[in-house]
Amino acid sequence: MEFSIKSFESIPSLLTAKSGCIAVGVYEDKTLSQAASVLDAGGGISAALASGDIGGKAGSTLLLRGVAGVGAHRVLLVGLGPVGEVTEAGFDLALAATLAAFGTLGCADGVVALPCDQVKGRTAAWAVARTVELARRLRYRRDTHKSKRDPSPAGVQEIAILAPNVKANRAALTQASAVADGVELARTLADRAPNLCTPAYLAQVAQRLGKAHGFEVEVLERGQLADLNMNCFLAVANGSDEPPKFIVLKHMAGRLKDAPVVLVGKGVTFDSGGISLKPAAGMDEMKYDMGGAAAVLGVFRALGELRPKQNVIGVIACCENMPSGRATKPGDIVTSMSGLTIEVLNSDAEGRLILCDALTYVERYKPAAVVDIATLTGACVVALGHHNSGLFTRADAEHDELAQELLDAGRQASDGVWRLPVEAAYAEQLKSNFADLANIGSPGGGASVAAAFLENFTKNYVWAHLDTAGTAWKTGADKGATGRPVPLLVQFLLNRS
């Protein structure tokens, strides 16, 4: 699918444009948008509104063919909601309806001429990016392994977006296309079956990214991890026949003296729960427990295309969590890379065991900031549902600033996060009679307790934790990976650059 920007100044030329379809907006009181007014020179659009075939409700559509005086073969009327300022939700509905309709048409090209500069609280650049994002999401395929795949939809393959300030919005288009590529990679990896998407496979993907985009890539093996005293990571990995992989990617395009931003991804390619075995129902979805790893790889795909002048390091700890004679047992005590001892009370709280060693490892980079990404707790789903990822940082000036950066980036990218507390009271729940801390706490506030556990290993740098258990994938009829929080993270990094 190809995208381009057309200037707002070309609105008058829409009347004679030889396009397969032009999408224009109409309001609930039968008011026409500027572009719709231009195409109504022969009165065809006004007649359709007068007939009551479309009322202007946000997301409603009506396809007209052979509109008098219009050069395009089709005109798609799209409801924008009440007249006046277009709301973000209304524009999203209109845009999604437009792109869905484009996918069913028998033409190769189309023009999105919705009022992208009139969305309340948003810029035209956001609307351009949103168009690319939604179009690419609609065309994503999950049927790779089906013996009989549905034919690829024909529909519109070339989309021109009408927007002001062509130069600025071409930059937005470039960024949106790179982010969409990153999201698609993250979704593809997370949706891949766990017998195929193993730690070794993710290491291969990282190496291919490095070769394609000039990243330095290093993959640490079991022996190297043991030499580093990553005993918590290995305590999770030891139950599986699949060897663990610890992947490091480096995009070092900034100045030598600039401290890097480090992204740390949890990469449990299948989480059975280990000895603390999960219930069978829904266990297939535990292939998504590498959503943090997929997100980091997706971000690096986008960085490879955008080449921002900054230093970014990605660290991904990959393994399976399986039950076997070698698996860690509840009651076992392991010593982390940091030297802290941990009593494993539940082997299904494995993500924090993996991350604690990874978070200790990244100290060597003297980072400007560290953000870890993990499908960590069901408690975060209870707290926030599937709308926002959980954001956790310490409560001080430096961490408040980092939290605000992530909140702002999430807002810009329509990939929301919500800040939840990390306080001493939650750390108290992790006390153990036999080790420095336990890997689970007493009941209540599970997402904050998990973040409080991780905080013990982040004392030497500015850190934030993103819990994406509710946002990295969808369940039910629409089961599949979302690619979140790739848009948020790319925007966060670009804001910093």
Q: How confident is the model at residue 152 (pLDDT cuts 50, 70, 90)?
A: low
Instruction: Assess whether 279 and 156 both reside in one domain.
Output: no
Instruction: Assess whether 123 and 185 both reside in one domain.
Output: no
pLDDT, residue 288, reads: 96
pLDDT, residue 448, reads: 98
Verdict on whether the full-model pTM lies above 0.85: yes
The domain of 364 spans 179-496
What is the residue type of 103?
G
Q: What is the DSSP letter of 202?
A: H
Residues annotated as catalytic are 278, 352
Instruction: Assess whether 122 and 226 both reside in one domain.
Output: no
pLDDT, residue 146, reads: 87
**What number of other Cβ atoms are within 10 A of residue 140's Cβ?**
15
Task: Give the CATH number of the domain where residue 90 resides.
Answer: 3.40.220.10
CA distance 118 to 106: 30
CA distance 453 to 434: 16
pLDDT, residue 335, reads: 98
284-313 pLDDT, tens digit each: 999 999 999 999 999 999 999 999 999 999
* Torsion, Cα of 126, 128, 133, 134 (10° steps): 110
**In terms of Cα–Cα distance, which of 83, 104, 141, 155 is closest to 480?**
141
* Torsion, Cα of 431, 433, 434, 435 (10° steps): 20
From 163, 191, 222, the end of a domain falls on 163
Residue 365 falls inside a structural domain: yes
Instruction: Assess whether 219 and 155 both reside in one domain.
Output: no
Residue 173 falls inside a structural domain: no
Residue 174 falls inside a structural domain: no
Residue 243 falls inside a structural domain: yes
pLDDT, the chain, mean:
95
Q: How confident is the model at residue 195 (pLDDT cuts 50, 70, 90)?
A: very high
Task: Give the CATH number of the domain where residue 385 resides.
Answer: 3.40.630.10
Residues 6+ away with beta carbon under 8 Å from 366 = 259, 461
Helix intervals (H) in 19-149: 34-39, 44-50, 88-102, 124-138
Residue 233 falls inside a structural domain: yes
pLDDT, residue 167, reads: 84
**In terms of Cα–Cα distance, which of 292, 407, 295 is closest to 350?**
292
Instruction: Assess whether 300 and 183 both reside in one domain.
Output: yes
From 163, 187, 204, the end of a domain falls on 163
CA distance 142 to 17: 36
Instruction: Assess whether 225 and 359 both reside in one domain.
Output: yes
Instruction: Assess whether 159 and 192 both reside in one domain.
Output: no
**H-helix or E-strand containing 261?**
strand 261-271
Residue with tokens 């070339």: 158
Q: Within the chain, how many helices (H) and strands (E) appear?
A: 15, 19
Residue 170 falls inside a structural domain: no
Instruction: Assess whether 13 and 107 both reside in one domain.
Output: yes
C-alpha dist (Å) from residue 394 to 152, 247, 411, 423, 451:
48, 27, 21, 8, 10
51-109 pLDDT, tens digit each: 888 989 999 999 999 898 899 999 999 999 998 778 999 999 999 999 999 999 999 99
Please tell me which residue, 180 or 12, carries the higher pLDDT value: 180
**In terms of Cα–Cα distance, which of 404, 181, 139, 438 is closest to 297?**
181
CA distance 393 to 167: 37
**Angle at the Cα of 192 from the Cα atoms of 188 and 194, rounded to 5 degrees:** 150
User: What average pLDDT score do residues 406-418 get?
Assistant: 97
From 110, 138, 163, the end of a domain falls on 163
CA distance 166 to 119: 18
**H-helix or E-strand containing 390?**
strand 389-392
Q: Across the beta sheet with 245-252, what order do the strands follow?
A: 216-220, 245-252, 311-321, 261-271, 369-374, 463-467, 389-392, 417-419
pLDDT for residue 428 is more than 90? yes
pLDDT, residue 9, reads: 76
Q: How confident is the model at residue 193 (pLDDT cuts 50, 70, 90)?
A: very high
Residue 353 falls inside a structural domain: yes
User: What average pLDDT score do residues 405-419 get?
Assistant: 97
Instruction: Assess whether 156 and 185 both reside in one domain.
Output: no
Instruction: Assess whether 213 and 124 both reside in one domain.
Output: no
Instruction: Assess whether 187 and 40 both reside in one domain.
Output: no
Q: How many domains does the chain have?
A: 2
Instruction: Assess whether 159 and 229 both reside in one domain.
Output: no
Residue 285 falls inside a structural domain: yes
pLDDT for residue 153 is more than 70? no
What is the residue type of 399?
H
Q: What is the DSSP letter of 467?
A: E
